[in-house]
Structure 1
């Protein structure tokens, strides 16, 4: 028998679910979408019914866009603006640094801006297509109790009636003030900045907005400035000591701040709000059967645009692991790797954002001249210039420990790092991004080698029974890539074959095999002669208890 329904749902709530997801923002909705793709019975709860019509996050990088691709969002699912460069300007020294964000990586632009409500609507529509995912809004979480196996959740609806629900796992995606985090005793570690910032979003600037991101690193009032879809622009003004929040948010004062960009009579303010930035992270992203993702686990200052991106990385890492445990395809112990893999990288991104914050917010003229002057001087050194301008300073999403088998780097492939993506030609003649061959399973990928041909019959059956797949990346115009039918099966061994560009084939030596996880992380690599040992090692890491 189900619980009493709330006033925004047409059916009674369940009394038990596989995953209770707390929070229906972009990270929670993304997590729900991934769980839906994997067939996991999921309930998404949130106190709020509708998407908040306020732009908050504004930037996504190529990794985030790749995760959204995995969630099934097409390129036109939400509008975006491709950002070709990021410039940093000092009033005394002029432009002292820039980052080249033109071009693409792994099939997606390096940097885009977007309008968050559009993305949230797209994600909600996506997970609504899965019968196993149920949103239940107007529900407030009250308490969580870890049981021998699973979690008992207590909630309250809008009528003040309390309900209980049993969940095998709980995921807290309930933001920076996360109740889930408090209930499991994971207080934030780190710092909050002492400065307040006035965020101003204006619209109606079609054809007039800038096409790049600029940081005006003025010690008197630092001001990041960037465009967004729909003729929008964002400015972030640091408030000085003693400036009154209400006064700074007044229409008159906002018009003064924006006068250098927009005449007052053309000003269309969409949002204005004062925030304080934070650089904080939990000491653990899980406790028992309860997990934290997104801002519930870590908060990143906005200076590198990685807040939402980090949350999407969390969702991609955790969703498939929960699914495989629930489906009996892997041991409960693999969930320990979520914290091992995600927390160090989240820390690295926070540290990068703090470093950028120091460049953006110099306190005095001498501090500005020293820090900005050093950055300008480093541009004369080719290696240092490349490190900053080509964004090599950005920490790579490569794990130091976790659910992978460490090995010597093979070509450009790193175990524990992301598998590359590129456009490939299927046996049908269609062009697609190569992740479409990987789907939501573990995949054994062969570089110019059919990976299935190298396996013994029993090991191959075991691999296929637990959902493992096979992909061969062949040379363009290779005859074996044209012998199949359907969407790419072309070897007679059940292997999906695609003609890959040389840029992708150059990532690894011919005959190299890689096991790629559903989140596109390389789990293990070996030469095709070691295929049996390679799969046996991966299966041992996943083995059920």
Structure 2
């Protein structure tokens, strides 16, 4: 931890959980002077979030975490069982997407430790534990933030931007008048994490019994997690008693033979505030939205926030883009976060049928639908999951060969010197002009290339595997033909944002126009 507090920073992050730490690590790549504060003295050692998907792992890769930075278990499938119908759902989570497993479980303290270590490896990042935000005042050129330090003294820090990553009870959110409103879809659940559980359980299973729904899943460190829904009249005190835990775990293990690591009743919510930003203040993670855990997207949504916001803050702070681009953060992230909350609520209705007739009706209908091959594929391959793509935001409107506002896929590429890497690592942390098949750099005027480079852009080329002609010095071979759905469109180019969103695309012969229109968007949004 930094021994002294900086008095002036570009970004001040309140909250040093996994989302705040990921945001700090992402900002650290660009040399953005950042202070992260957290009122807790250290990492909370109790496991909380437990699942990450391939998108989250890709963001952690962007943040600089190596594949072995924290322990993970790849989940082969997610099974949904009904006592009356049997298995009515099975999601295929084996294999990988964009170079990462589709679904993994993890131990949250390990992830937080790895993210903090990465963030604090940058000289521009300062972190202070035991430090509480008291208040802040927005001024014409920044925000003045009052803090109470670990020793009880108070200090003032001036920041250009303030980020609330301080969880569901966010003080930052309350200060900008963005309290959660509307129905919450609240449910109380007992969470039990145990170690040394016998057997070879290796997947995620939802027992969708109307009497007491019970998801359970494997996790690193020899752990199994159970989640038991509380029934009317049950209290936290009763559910957390040893004898209650022993009775609930009896179908799987003798409670005396396992080590109970955590037992706690939590209330699951489904909430989103109306705006994820106001002026120079931004909300990320649970401070902006809370997702029930049924689709494992709570922490994932927060990491998407961090990836979307970090590069935009960096480009504004470094003078590479106009501050107006920051308005696109709320515009892009809020609709997708709400779609994920809606999916979690839908999943909750499958997990928690209200009665035996409803269970037979709903689960039986799902089982019948899975007998139709196209619907089975759609359901089993997560076709229902909303894609992380935007209808409005920071990209050039229009339709071409690629989905502007959508993500460029990731795959293995080989450089001219024979090194093989994931394409995000090869492209780096900058804006990228990608030429598919042909080099795009030769199509740029000298002044355009100079401007592009000055604004944080680079030029790369993607070739088919084994291609030897038309190769530039910045060419990479697409080793498995994954970078563009349907294969790389020869003679095409795309401008790709640092968060891998496609900003613009078109024929490679029009690369100069495409680059200039992209830069104009960064100036005039």
For the superposition of Structure 1 and Structure 2, which TM-score range results when normalised by the shorter chain?
Answer: over 0.9
Q: Deviations over 1:230-286 (max 9, x none)?
A: 100100000110012111101111011001101133121000000111000010000
Which of the numbers 491, 507, 512 marks the counterpart of 2:472?
491
- Does the CA-based 8 Å contact 1:204-1:231 persist in structure 2? yes
Aligned to 1:28: 20
Q: Shift of the alpha carbon at 1:198?
A: 0.2
Which of the numbers 234, 239, 245 marks the counterpart of 2:225?
234
Q: Deviations over 1:340-364 (max 9, x none)?
A: 0000000000000000000000110
Q: Shift of the alpha carbon at 1:479?
A: 1.7
Aligned-partner SS, 2:144: strand
Aligned to 1:83: 75
Q: Deviations over 1:444-500 (max 9, x none)?
A: 00111101011111111111121211111111112258xxxxxxxx625xx343344
- Does the CA-based 8 Å contact 1:470-1:496 persist in structure 2? no
Distance 1:496 1:40 in 2: 30
Distance 1:118 1:358 in 2: 32
- Does the CA-based 8 Å contact 1:85-1:213 persist in structure 2? yes
Judged with a 3 Å threshold, the aligned counterparts in structure 2 of structure 1 residues 278 and 293 are, in CA distance, closer, same or farther, namely same
Aligned to 2:102: 110
Distance 1:94 1:212 in 2: 17
Judged with a 3 Å threshold, the aligned counterparts in structure 2 of structure 1 residues 521 and 47 are, in CA distance, closer, same or farther, namely same
Q: Shift of the alpha carbon at 1:502?
A: 3.0
Which of the numbers 311, 315, 330 marks the counterpart of 2:321?
330
Which of the numbers 390, 405, 416 marks the counterpart of 2:405?
416
Aligned-partner SS, 1:192: coil
Which of the numbers 355, 365, 376 marks the counterpart of 1:374?
365
- Does the CA-based 8 Å contact 2:166-2:172 persist in structure 1? yes
Aligned to 2:331: 340
- Does the CA-based 8 Å contact 2:186-2:270 persist in structure 1? no
Aligned-partner SS, 1:502: coil
Q: Deviations over 1:161-185 (max 9, x none)?
A: 2221111000000000000000000
- Does the CA-based 8 Å contact 1:425-1:498 persist in structure 2? yes
- Does the CA-based 8 Å contact 1:437-1:471 persist in structure 2? no
Which of the numbers 275, 279, 283 marks the counterpart of 1:284?
275
1:14 equivalent to 2:34? Answer no
Which of the numbers 441, 449, 455 marks the counterpart of 1:452?
441
- 5 Å-filtered alignment, 1:500-539, equals 500-504=479-483, 506-539=486-519
Q: Deviations over 1:178-197 (max 9, x none)?
A: 00000000011343334310
Q: Shift of the alpha carbon at 1:128?
A: 1.3
- 5 Å-filtered alignment, 1:341-420, equals 341-410=332-401, 413-420=402-409
Distance 1:544 1:355 in 2: 39
Give the TM-score of the pair, scaled to structure 2.
0.97
Distance 2:318 2:267 in 1: 42
Distance 2:482 2:519 in 1: 30
Q: Deviations over 1:397-422 (max 9, x none)?
A: 01010000123241xx3100000111
- Does the CA-based 8 Å contact 1:192-1:276 persist in structure 2? no
Distance 1:297 1:247 in 2: 32
Aligned-partner SS, 1:201: strand
Aligned-partner SS, 1:504: coil
Distance 1:11 1:126 in 2: 18
Q: Shift of the alpha carbon at 1:204?
A: 1.8
Aligned to 1:218: 209
Q: Shift of the alpha carbon at 1:209?
A: 4.3
Q: Shift of the alpha carbon at 1:78?
A: 0.3
Which of the numbers 307, 310, 313 marks the counterpart of 1:316?
307
Which of the numbers 115, 121, 133 marks the counterpart of 1:123?
115
Judged with a 3 Å threshold, the aligned counterparts in structure 2 of structure 1 residues 438 and 190 are, in CA distance, closer, same or farther, namely farther
Distance 2:58 2:243 in 1: 42
Distance 2:405 2:118 in 1: 29
- Does the CA-based 8 Å contact 2:2-2:128 persist in structure 1? no
Q: Deviations over 1:6-29 (max 9, x none)?
A: xxx563211111100000000000
Q: Deviations over 1:22-66 (max 9, x none)?
A: 000000000000011110000000111211101100000000000
Distance 1:209 1:329 in 2: 53
Aligned-partner SS, 1:143: strand
Aligned-partner SS, 2:519: helix
- 5 Å-filtered alignment, 1:233-312, equals 233-312=224-303
Distance 1:244 1:188 in 2: 25
Aligned to 2:157: 165
Judged with a 3 Å threshold, the aligned counterparts in structure 2 of structure 1 residues 167 and 449 are, in CA distance, closer, same or farther, namely same
Distance 1:234 1:529 in 2: 55
Which of the numbers 445, 452, 455 marks the counterpart of 1:466?
455
Aligned to 1:66: 58
Higher mean alpha-carbon deviation, 24-33 vs 184-193, is at 184-193
Aligned-partner SS, 1:92: coil
Aligned to 2:124: 132
- 5 Å-filtered alignment, 1:35-50, equals 35-50=27-42
Equivalenced residues, count: 524
Distance 2:483 2:44 in 1: 41
1:142 equivalent to 2:131? Answer no
Distance 2:313 2:74 in 1: 34
